[in-house]
Structure 1
């Protein structure tokens, strides 16, 4: 039975924590007493699926639609931007009067119109969009006293990253408790690098190999903060009317216990995409300590929350997901049989410019998993996916292959499009572009990290952009970000590779400009008069021997102030 007031919603999602990375799911090493408590207090979706990688899961979670519909099928190279016409969970809550806050990881774009404060969140505190150490993270962040971005502006913080984001979320709740609120708290842990205070990791050292003690130390930190959140909600009288959801974004990266599944992060087998999902609402008729065994997915959570919270979306949304309210309240008699699809389009090298059909996918039902079109597993008898039954069940294989064939064609209709960073839109005069979202040519290499920039990775490609307004635009090409502020030929430390470009080149909207670079040049600045339109921006740093690579950081400013 619903309580009278609209419930608050807190959605906690961790990064690279698998189904088995908690003691309540049988892990014999890591200790997670607060996750265990939440598990006991919640209804658990035990056959719950996401995408095998970060950005696609986040896109599907926030829209209730398969990620490829929003042109998100990768975590970099311009293919992790959520299309601007997709309606997010935050926009849906905001339209119904909720105050919306985002804290932690985003990974769906940091420039306009992709950042969280462009997509319905009233307040956001985030690390660099691709995660810790990405080229769009603040240089040198290591989880300790980092610089994060509050509504797009850098802000110095104090403390360990997970602590900072949980504290910011609690502060947001305190300031907004007089109205319904939605908090999306997405940690960057336990994603690598596993930097954590040693007292959290040392306790596991004797039980672990392959640096797993550090991974479990980051999970300890998450668990500690989840305990703080549970205590806070109880102390503030908010627990009964707050829907608290916990899930993770993909399978584990652990080399240890994997929850009795085949595969890890990135895999098309269940270990890559079956994750925990706990839903707690004491005042809303969702029972504690109950398992829902029916197959469910990330795309179901937004339709579910719309029904639970009585939201009134301003626009009609063609969801791929379904409201799980009947399952959460125990009414399963008329629940339809479902077939879901997942794919792992993030390749190694080389890069795929568009999603590839018949590439690393699974078709899921309550009973069956069809993997890569040729392997069929009966999950009731074979949860480890060891015995391929495709030869014995050809009719099931044919049916599920047909489902995938239709699904892929439907969800990738817009895959030839590029989600464009908009330059010069009113109120958005500045943008900064980095190598993580350079789109290379099909079959070429890509890179994402500050380490790649430090080692002068030879990447090149383009950024898809839209010129919003006619006017003068300034492009500032750099080898190092502004916060480092070194010349092109210099290095910040002995581990970095020195390069000696003598020319910098930029092309955009028919313009092609080359400028000299000398040993003292910190940035090459180019001003161009541009007209509105859709185009591609590309840059080159060129050595005398002909070696070419992109400018790793490009800052863009619209100069024609009113």
Structure 2
């Protein structure tokens, strides 16, 4: 009797060990999103010109969501992706003017993964806020390297960045890099994965390419120029070729490190194509080589109407490929039911067994019924809305699309049935008034729900102990007239042209005290003289001004402030000849009393 008892006791001691050994490791997650690459800008989708062998191979190995939709422009898609909610619900409906800043009270993707014990890293374009507490490393990403603003070379980005050997932000601190921007993002992602390969990781790679300016090494563009692809499309394709090369290299590392089997890889893009179809063909569909036009390639849009920024299909239907070799059901098939960017967060959390308890906080839904043997998909009925606002205050029905699996109601007026009319050329609204009425009713319910906080701002805190100094940029100006703030460094309306434009920052004062406002025409450290005249600052009801008797790189105005809720901050640089503009760059520092 003694031996069996001892053996049983030994087994009992081992039970926790067996249980621990049997417990599967949470899958890793690698989420890759490219910028301005459309559905038609991948060879697998029928583009016979572009060469994307690694993306094509990934598509073949993946579940492909072929009716997958995002917002028509950049920041909005990223906000929905990170929160699992409609972008406008969380305060994002533009790419500039302070409306690209994701509300600070929203819980986002890396926070869920970090709470579940994941290492979290982000590399590339953030575009959801450049100031504390909106930056990626403020919101759950433990390791980051990113450009500021909406892309490399925009007004908040490090001055002079041009895609090659640029300076990016390492957890909020500038750091010089070597190489092409896309190569940098993937190089850093590879280092992050290698560093954390023994534990679950969530790695978010968000390239700024192939967003313009279309800068790339000529070795990537020349093959397309040789085949008759015009500029800048040849460079656009070259940027995608470079992305494809980097994806292949990174996936190869997953194989080498034996991580591929248990890593969920998601590839998607943030909106329709920006340069995959020449302007003359943007309203049409497929565009093969056209005889009689010097055999010039005019692009490929997979039969869809319109491109980036549009409420038509080509503006928001994009690729989404999901690969997880350990899950034998996620292989080489298609889902053509209506899905969207905000479905990915609840889906990934479900796959990783990290879903929040209780009622779902998301607008999106887990796609596991589709991904796993299509169980109960006959019961899947949904109506989704896409819109492209890009204004200070959202307007009902503005550039909108109400969707079910097969229909698109555009601007509340045009109705298209995609199985018969994928190019959205035949308006059937007059023939189906009941369907139009039903879609309008769905939109009204949606609008009444998501618009409850449209009057709010994502205020930048001033004087908080976590960020006693804030660097403000005109990229985040809320408009005071019909002029657009200078969101690029160069270009016709860029900062370098010194446009006569002004705007206001939405801020809140966190603590009482003296605050120094340092006004500049260029970022700190760059010599650029402010003309003689007067500098002014107004924050809420408090104003200050100083005369500028000699040209200077900066002007500082000190004000005594008390804590506030939401207020607007505006600056003026009034020149002696009567010209006036806002200070494109303003540093706000709380001076200890």
Q: Normalized against structure 1, the TM-score is what? A: 0.94
| Secondary structure of 1:416 counterpart | coil
- The question of whether the paired residues in 2 share the 8 Å contact of 1:13 and 1:248 is answered with yes
Which residue of structure 1 lines up, in the alignment, with residue 561 of structure 2? Answer: 530
Q: 1:430-475 CA deviation, whole Å, 9 max, x = no partner?
A: 2111111111136443331112111111221210111112222221
Q: Partners in 1 of 2:308 and 2:221 — Cα distance?
A: 22
Provide the aligned C-alpha RMSD in A.
Answer: 1.6
1:318 aligned residue (335, 343, 361):
361
| Secondary structure of 1:163 counterpart | helix
In the TM superposition, residue 503 of structure 1 has moved relative to its aligned partner by: 1.3
1:507 aligned residue (538, 542, 552):
538
Which residue of structure 2 lines up, in the alignment, with residue 491 of structure 1? Answer: none
Q: Partners in 2 of 1:62 and 1:306 — Cα distance?
A: 12
Q: Partners in 2 of 1:442 and 1:78 — Cα distance?
A: 15
Which residue of structure 1 lines up, in the alignment, with residue 589 of structure 2? Answer: 557
In the TM superposition, residue 501 of structure 1 has moved relative to its aligned partner by: 4.6
Which residue of structure 2 lines up, in the alignment, with residue 237 of structure 1? Answer: 258
Q: Partners in 1 of 2:35 and 2:368 — Cα distance?
A: 26
- The question of whether the paired residues in 2 share the 8 Å contact of 1:478 and 1:553 is answered with yes
Equivalenced residue count is 544
In the TM superposition, residue 129 of structure 1 has moved relative to its aligned partner by: 2.2
Q: Residue 341 in 1 paired to residue 341 in 2?
A: no
In the TM superposition, residue 113 of structure 1 has moved relative to its aligned partner by: 1.3
In the TM superposition, residue 284 of structure 1 has moved relative to its aligned partner by: 2.3
Q: 1:317-363 CA deviation, whole Å, 9 max, x = no partner?
A: 521100001101122434421111000112xxxxx320011111001
Q: Partners in 2 of 1:531 and 1:509 — Cα distance?
A: 11
1:305 aligned residue (331, 342, 348):
348
Q: Residue 329 in 1 paired to residue 360 in 2?
A: no
Q: In 2 relative to 1, CA 175–196 (structure 1 residues): closer, same or farther, beyond 3 Å? A: same
- The question of whether the paired residues in 2 share the 8 Å contact of 1:280 and 1:286 is answered with no
In the TM superposition, residue 62 of structure 1 has moved relative to its aligned partner by: 0.5
Q: 1:170-223 CA deviation, whole Å, 9 max, x = no partner?
A: 111111122211011000000000110110111111321242101001001100
Q: In 2 relative to 1, CA 427–406 (structure 1 residues): closer, same or farther, beyond 3 Å? A: same
Q: Residue 106 in 1 paired to residue 150 in 2?
A: no
Matches within 5 A, 1:252-263: 252-253=273-274, 254=276, 255=278, 256-263=299-306
Matches within 5 A, 1:116-127: 116-127=136-147
Which residue of structure 2 lines up, in the alignment, with residue 521 of structure 1? Answer: 552
Q: 1:95-133 CA deviation, whole Å, 9 max, x = no partner?
A: 111111110001000101111011111111001222111
* Runs (4+) off by over 4 Å: 314-317
1:202 aligned residue (222, 225, 233):
222
- The question of whether the paired residues in 1 share the 8 Å contact of 2:69 and 2:316 is answered with yes
Query: Which ranges in structure 1 are unaligned for 5 or more consecutive residues?
Result: 347-351, 489-499
Query: Which ranges in structure 2 are unaligned for 5 or more consecutive residues?
Result: 1-21, 279-298
Q: In 2 relative to 1, CA 164–518 (structure 1 residues): closer, same or farther, beyond 3 Å? A: farther
| Secondary structure of 1:132 counterpart | coil
| Secondary structure of 1:284 counterpart | coil
- The question of whether the paired residues in 2 share the 8 Å contact of 1:68 and 1:411 is answered with yes
Q: Partners in 2 of 1:364 and 1:59 — Cα distance?
A: 20
In the TM superposition, residue 314 of structure 1 has moved relative to its aligned partner by: 7.4
Q: Partners in 1 of 2:532 and 2:323 — Cα distance?
A: 57
Q: 1:246-288 CA deviation, whole Å, 9 max, x = no partner?
A: 0000000122211210010000001000000000000123432
Deviates most, 471-480 or 58-67: 471-480
Q: Residue 284 in 1 paired to residue 318 in 2?
A: no
Q: Normalized against structure 2, the TM-score is what? A: 0.89
Matches within 5 A, 1:85-484: 85-206=105-226, 207-253=228-274, 254=276, 255=278, 256-313=299-356, 317-334=360-377, 335-346=379-390, 352-441=391-480, 443-451=482-490, 452-484=494-526
| Secondary structure of 1:267 counterpart | coil
Q: In 2 relative to 1, CA 316–459 (structure 1 residues): closer, same or farther, beyond 3 Å? A: farther
Q: Partners in 2 of 1:415 and 1:501 — Cα distance?
A: 40
Which residue of structure 2 lines up, in the alignment, with residue 492 of structure 1? Answer: none
Q: Partners in 2 of 1:442 and 1:57 — Cα distance?
A: 27
Q: In 2 relative to 1, CA 537–316 (structure 1 residues): closer, same or farther, beyond 3 Å? A: farther
Q: 1:463-502 CA deviation, whole Å, 9 max, x = no partner?
A: 01111122222211001111423222xxxxxxxxxxx351
Q: Partners in 2 of 1:167 and 1:178 — Cα distance?
A: 19
Which residue of structure 1 lines up, in the alignment, with residue 15 of structure 2? Answer: none
Q: In 2 relative to 1, CA 281–402 (structure 1 residues): closer, same or farther, beyond 3 Å? A: same
- Report the structure number with the largest CA radius of gyration: 2
- The question of whether the paired residues in 2 share the 8 Å contact of 1:487 and 1:519 is answered with no
1:486 aligned residue (501, 517, 528):
528
Q: Partners in 1 of 2:230 and 2:206 — Cα distance?
A: 27
